[in-house]
Structure 1
């Protein structure tokens, strides 16, 4: 972040999709980089635990620039603390899908037999007082199935208005319950899921191709000096598809069985995978983001802020 700010960055897309969180203190410190003054970031409170607040303590590196945060059902725990704070303070536009809803605080008690007992003692709340935790009274099966399916159901883009209502300083209405709902919804793409696709990806056939192809034909890729040049100029052609089909013949697979949308998805995966082999994450994200609906939506929002 420091390097980006020093280079003159005025707009930022923060991608927290699939980020399962981690240490709460890290989330608080990151939020402090985007929020000004002594704003409340989060607080914990339980039936037998007093309220404990966590606030901004210093000047942040990016308190005024335009900010969009990407989230989905894999965004959980500390990541939800960060997103909730930015949304409550109208600091960022949240794009994507509803987050996981993991907002419980556990305390560990050591036992005499060298074991330990962890008890849930309180919950995490956003600055406005929204509980992050999703309801779990209906049992584990429903609890986890809700998350697995949230990105695929059409009603996942419907705001649950049954929860407690909150208002931000700008007048935006937010609701409590089931994680953090985004401000702008981007549905999950289910058009590319089939047995053939599941087999190819589940058995790492695509990964094997993206490793072998540039290694087998280095001259095809030596002409691209930067990830951006590769993104703009290179396309998966018939030769690449033919090579892939030769590699997967032993698995009785062939791309001729795929639908046009599946082929588009596959070819994009091939290109992003090759970019990762050549330039690591810099290449991967440069290519991947160019066709990412959530990223494209975020860029559109930034242009209109």
Structure 2
């Protein structure tokens, strides 16, 4: 070998290293340019067996096959072997799922119902684009841009797709008002989705706050409500978590931090691949002292159970109502290449006493989610002694050392049975078809002038009475829809119907706050909470 060749050979390792480094560098730069924003957990160079089968089916199967449906079926079959809360969210549904937790969407800010194949506006959000443009409750939607939407059997989901769009974009709509067709050009904007349905002073010193979910905007909404109510004289607090299915853990932790003192543990999470993480109080709370009650039921789940459980375990307040859902699992959401997402359970959560309130989930998912019906059939909604927990471990509260239970939701400190008098055949038929709401909406828009004398919701709740004339109109309305026997309702059910009609009137005037201000006047859980607070 010549001397020059020897010198070149000496530099082979160095040259190889330089080329390797350059290749790696260019590879990473190319990846960045092409937009790869997540790391692969699995080896992308080799297709999974499932993907191979789907590809072969698409290319070779004797008949045409809907590979997308096969893929979805395969995904559901995999998830069926996991817990009921690990779910695949298709790309077509992801935006709506996320907006409920993010607390906003982009659109014009209206609520609507379909009556006789016509879209009726039931609310124009105050300060929203539709309200500012002049849209009113009772307007009938005829067209959106070039699409007719009246009398064409359009779905409400299609209406939503037509009305929503990017912030700053315009939508042209035509509405019918007092037999006149009116055009509107509306610029879409970001529309908030409030997570607090109502906050008001239910007595001179007791505040009431109803939280419908724990979203990104829940904590600031809660703080705004608390500061407002404290200025109005709040000394005691009722938090209503009924039918609150949960949401972001951090939002529930932040609210709990405002109610618990010092550096108390609120909750901790832990899983097989998820090290223990403690969530503790870290600031002075806005209501660390003072009588507190929390209302719960079978729809109270997940993050709302964290709040109720932390308050119960630290003996900070009284939990009133019925056993909660029993969801003690934590999900993380992972974006997928098809535009969808996997919401995967990664940990369990444990409240301060050390209990996990997740109920068993053996068997199929439909059985798991039908549990509330099972509770009703077994008498759990009417008799506290019918409730049984699978976890036999003894747990105790942190201050008063009271016995509490795990493995099946939060058992309230004060049990309030469901009012079965509201569940007879006629009442169930009225609830199922939203008959009461439909009637109230129609009647309100035909008699708006009758409600002008009430200056605010407090005045309306105190002084408005549903007249016999209104009840007679309601009876006639139900007959048109084939519901008979309404005029033979007992006194209790007739009062229930009248209260709901009044509440829906209040909703048209003062949104959900007005609705709950009326409904709470005859709510047995609210009544019990007031009793517990000495009212």
Q: TM-score, normalised by structure 1?
A: 0.90
Query: In the alignment, which residue of structure 1 is the partner of 2:447?
Result: 217
Please state whether the residue corresponding to 2:513 is helix, strand or coil: helix
What's the offset of the Cα at 1:115? 6.3
Whole-angstrom CA distance in 2 between matches of 1:128 and 1:122? 18
Whole-angstrom CA distance in 1 between matches of 2:345 and 2:247? 17
What's the offset of the Cα at 1:299? 0.5
CA contact (8 A) 1:151 1:187 kept: no
> How many residues were matched structurally?
304
Query: In the alignment, which residue of structure 2 is the partner of 1:142?
Result: 367
Query: In the alignment, which residue of structure 1 is the partner of 2:418?
Result: 188
Query: In the alignment, which residue of structure 1 is the partner of 2:396?
Result: 167
Please state whether the residue corresponding to 2:422 is helix, strand or coil: coil
Whole-angstrom CA distance in 2 between matches of 1:48 and 1:97? 34
C-alpha change, 1:267 and 1:59, in structure 2 (3 Å) is same
What's the offset of the Cα at 1:104? 1.0
Matched, 1:81 2:306: yes
1:277 aligned to 488, 508, 518, which one?
Answer: 508
Whole-angstrom CA distance in 1 between matches of 2:496 and 2:374? 21
Query: In the alignment, which residue of structure 1 is the partner of 2:522?
Result: 291
**CA deviation map 1:66-101 (0-9, x unaligned):** 100000000111101111111101111000011111
Query: In the alignment, which residue of structure 2 is the partner of 1:206?
Result: 436
Query: In the alignment, which residue of structure 2 is the partner of 1:246?
Result: 476
**CA deviation map 1:194-214 (0-9, x unaligned):** 443333333332112212223
Please state whether the residue corresponding to 2:288 is helix, strand or coil: coil
Matched, 1:235 2:235: no
CA contact (8 A) 2:359 2:407 kept: yes
C-alpha change, 1:274 and 1:171, in structure 2 (3 Å) is same
**Where does the alignment leave 5 or more consecutive residues of structure 2 unmatched?**
1-225
What's the offset of the Cα at 1:111? 6.0
Whole-angstrom CA distance in 2 between matches of 1:296 and 1:173? 25
Whole-angstrom CA distance in 1 between matches of 2:448 and 2:336? 59
Whole-angstrom CA distance in 1 between matches of 2:458 and 2:330? 44
Please state whether the residue corresponding to 1:150 is helix, strand or coil: helix
What's the offset of the Cα at 1:132? 2.0
- Say which structure, 1 or 2, has more relative contact order (CA 8 Å, 6+ apart): 1
Please state whether the residue corresponding to 1:197 is helix, strand or coil: helix
Whole-angstrom CA distance in 2 between matches of 1:196 and 1:111? 48
**Where does the alignment leave 5 or more consecutive residues of structure 1 unmatched?**
none
2:493 aligned to 237, 257, 262, which one?
Answer: 262
Please state whether the residue corresponding to 1:191 is helix, strand or coil: helix
**CA deviation map 1:266-288 (0-9, x unaligned):** 11111111121222223212211
Q: Which stretch of structure 1 is more off in the superposition, 26-35 or 144-153?
A: 144-153
C-alpha change, 1:153 and 1:238, in structure 2 (3 Å) is farther
Please state whether the residue corresponding to 2:270 is helix, strand or coil: strand
C-alpha change, 1:223 and 1:139, in structure 2 (3 Å) is same
**CA deviation map 1:250-302 (0-9, x unaligned):** 22334224343332221111111112122222321221111000000000001
Whole-angstrom CA distance in 2 between matches of 1:227 and 1:115? 43
Whole-angstrom CA distance in 2 between matches of 1:146 and 1:108? 26
C-alpha change, 1:54 and 1:203, in structure 2 (3 Å) is same
C-alpha change, 1:171 and 1:212, in structure 2 (3 Å) is same
C-alpha change, 1:124 and 1:223, in structure 2 (3 Å) is same
Whole-angstrom CA distance in 2 between matches of 1:272 and 1:16? 20
Q: Which stretch of structure 1 is more off in the superposition, 191-200 or 24-33?
A: 191-200
Q: Which stretch of structure 1 is more off in the superposition, 208-217 or 167-176?
A: 208-217
Query: In the alignment, which residue of structure 2 is the partner of 1:57?
Result: 282
What's the offset of the Cα at 1:176? 1.1
CA contact (8 A) 2:475 2:487 kept: no
What's the offset of the Cα at 1:230? 2.3
What's the offset of the Cα at 1:45? 1.3
Whole-angstrom CA distance in 2 between matches of 1:132 and 1:175? 8
Q: TM-score, normalised by structure 2?
A: 0.53
Whole-angstrom CA distance in 2 between matches of 1:170 and 1:221? 51
Whole-angstrom CA distance in 2 between matches of 1:114 and 1:230? 48
CA contact (8 A) 1:192 1:262 kept: yes
